[in-house]
Amino acid sequence: MPGVPEWEALPPAGDLREAGAVVTVADISTGLGRCGVCGRRGRMWHGMVEVPLFGDFVPLGLGCTRAHAVAAAPTSWAALAATLTDRATALRANGVAHTRFDETVQLVSRQADICAFLADASLAERQLALRLWADRRDLSVPDVATVTAGVLADVDG
């Protein structure tokens, strides 16, 4: 964000860090908030995680310091799936009928589905799925599940 103080860090150790995710925190507070780590009230750093698979930032929440904003980052695909599912639910609850808004809800829901699939996948399935989605971001979760199952069955068989 041009003109806004930002700081980048690796997320806490876990699946997302291994997948190349990066956490960016920015001082974009316009008021007081409550820290997601220690509960302190004050000016907040906003945390966002960039997952190479998605190519965009996913809002994470708030921290009273940069380190707390990073510490609040999800460390697993399951935790990111839960964060995205909550975000999609909140968007639906607060939304208005608008094409751009509907596209955002669909995108966040799709990202949540992908993360849930990756959370339940074995290491081999996850690695193959990430390679497939790196080449073809338009592949659906069922399509990737079918391909990974077929490829890994051939390897094991």
pLDDT at residue 75 in the model? 84
pTM greater than 0.75: yes
pLDDT at residue 157 in the model? 57
Rounded Cα gap, residues 36 and 31, in angstroms = 15
Tens of each residue's pLDDT in the chain, 157 residues: 556 678 888 888 888 888 888 888 888 777 788 888 899 998 888 888 888 888 777 777 788 888 898 887 888 999 999 989 998 888 888 766 666 678 888 888 999 999 999 999 999 999 999 999 989 989 999 999 999 999 998 776 5
Contact 95, 105 (CB under 8 A): yes
Residue among 109, 97, 123, 119 nearest 58 (CA): 109
pLDDT at residue 46 in the model? 85
Residue among 1, 26, 21, 25 nearest 11 (CA): 21
pLDDT at residue 139 in the model? 94
Residue among 72, 85, 64, 65 nearest 23 (CA): 72
